[in-house]
Amino acid sequence: MSRVIFRALGLVFFTALVVGALLPLATRAANQSIHVLRVEGTIVPVVADYIERGIEKAEDENALACIIELDTPGGLLDSTERIVQEIMNADVPVIVYVTPKGAWAASAGTFITLSAHIAAMTPGTTIGAAHPVSGSGEEIPEDQMQKIVEFSAKWMESIAQERGRNVEEAQLAVTESKSFTDVDALEANLIDLRANSLDELIALIDGRQVKLANGLEVTLDTSSYTTTRNEMSLVEGFLHAISDPNIAYILLSIGSIGIIAEIYSPGMFFPGITGAISLLLAFYSLGVLDARWGGILLILLAFGLFIGEVLTATFGIFAAGGITALVLGSLILFPEAGSLFQVSPWLIAVVAILVAAVFAFVITRIVRAHRRQAYTGWEELVGKTALVKAALEPEGMVLIKGERWTAISEKGKMKVGEEVIITRVDGLKLYVTKKTKGANK
């Protein structure tokens, strides 16, 4: 009797194991959804987050496959490593498809493409040129660069071996920056197929066998399928858009100018708020892109000198120093060798010319005001009307004839925007009272 019971239990256990092993296959066969991701632009952390999220969603929903449409000039090594690891360890078939015509998968894109279970290219696309460059901009010593190249070549070798691709040709993309057209890549066994469209790609992968990271071998059946596009979220799209050297530079310029405008004309709020937000976004972007701290500090010094010019009126000395620091900081902000992360020289020139023009106008007004003051003397200000720019409690700031003066209220507090009458001048301070109706301006 006991033997019968043990045999029955053994049969139940064996049946459970078989069902458990076949269940994922049955589930995958039942779900004919193919998830499609789209990556266009540089490979930065937000792109790695997006791909990780997309693959994990495809896994959770037992999708038939996950296709990554790729068009990239390259990107950051850390982000590339994250993406490659996610693809290599995926429990869903991952197909990287370089598309549309004219697209390329250079540098980081080469590693990503070759790491896929199935790699495909649209006719007229290019892959390769995966030689490493410095991300932070410093000139790397020759011996250290050699070590980085050797490491990258070994990494490429391990990827190619795991996916059964041509190791020698894959390594040449790293060591000699070799590039391949779609035809060359197929002949060199770097990719698996060429397809003119997404529908053609899906038709071509029908019946292909893929071995997943968990050891499960899957035969793709695309005879009946649906596609689900998982686009970047609004936040991801926005962060990816500002992860661009030119955008970061523009944000840094807008932020600094906004802060200067708020200091020059306190109480306006809008320039200050806009400037603060722009600066925060600029620092995020510059941090993501590994910008040189030397360049950032020089640009901040430049705008500090501009603020000094506004507050102290040095007749152009601070402004000239600021423009010099701005141009130098802009030029060294990103490495010269890496055109992928570099501020456009035209953008630098436009910003420098605009700043110079603004301060030429300001300095001209200051010089004219000082000439008038030297001719007439400060006593002419007595009895004139000034505008409160910083609340007088009792000390604050007023504006008169385009100049800011420290002012002291002789009676009561005065709000921003109120008009006041100057009663006397003591050095560089004005004493004022509230303007009454009928008083002369």
Residues 348 and 332 placed together within one structural domain of the fold: yes
Residues 55 and 187 placed together within one structural domain of the fold: yes
Q: Identify whether 441 is part of a domain.
A: no
Please state the rounded mean pLDDT for residues 364-390: 68
Q: What share of the chain in percent tops pLDDT 90?
A: 28
- Please state, in angstroms and rounded to a whole number, the distance separating the CA atoms of residues 74 and 135: 11
Residues 139 and 162 placed together within one structural domain of the fold: yes
211 is an active site residue? no
Residues 50 and 171 placed together within one structural domain of the fold: yes
Element (H, E) at 70: strand 65-71
233 is an active site residue? no
Please state the rounded mean pLDDT for residues 83-106: 93
pLDDT at position 30: 44
pLDDT in tens, 272-285: 788 888 888 888 88
How much is the pTM?
Answer: 0.69
Q: How many domains does the chain have?
A: 4
Q: Identify whether 439 is part of a domain.
A: no
**Window from 14-23, 157-166, 330-339 with minimum mean pLDDT:** 14-23
Contact 261, 303 (CB under 8 A): no
pLDDT at position 314: 60
- Please state, in angstroms and rounded to a whole number, the distance separating the CA atoms of residues 137 and 144: 14
Element (H, E) at 367: helix 345-376
Exactly one of 107, 115, 330, 409 is catalytic; name it. 107
Q: Identify whether 220 is part of a domain.
A: yes
* CATH number for the domain harbouring residue 403: 2.40.50.140
Q: What share of the chain in percent tops pLDDT 70?
A: 80
98 has pLDDT over 90: yes
Which backbone phi and psi does 115 adopt, to 5 degrees?
-80, -10
Exactly one of 33, 115, 134, 147 is catalytic; name it. 147
Q: Which of 376, 401, 425 is the endpoint of a domain?
A: 376
Domain membership of residue 261 as a residue range: 244-376
pLDDT in tens, 61-72: 999 999 999 999
Residues 55 and 16 placed together within one structural domain of the fold: no
Q: How many CA atoms lie within 13 A of 285 on its CB side?
A: 28
- Please state, in angstroms and rounded to a whole number, the distance separating the CA atoms of residues 279 and 254: 8
pLDDT-based confidence at residue 36 (cuts at 50, 70, 90): very high
343 has pLDDT over 60: yes
pLDDT-based confidence at residue 302 (cuts at 50, 70, 90): confident
Burial 190-214 (b: 16+ CB within 10 A, else e): bbbbbbeebeebbebbeebebebee
Question: What sign has the CA pseudo-torsion 379, 380, 384, 386?
Answer: negative
Which backbone phi and psi does 350 adopt, to 5 degrees?
-65, -45
Contact 347, 250 (CB under 8 A): yes
Residues 6 and 112 placed together within one structural domain of the fold: no
For 93-149, strand residue ranges (E) read 94-98, 104-106, 118-121, 126-128
Name the amino acid, one letter, at 218: V
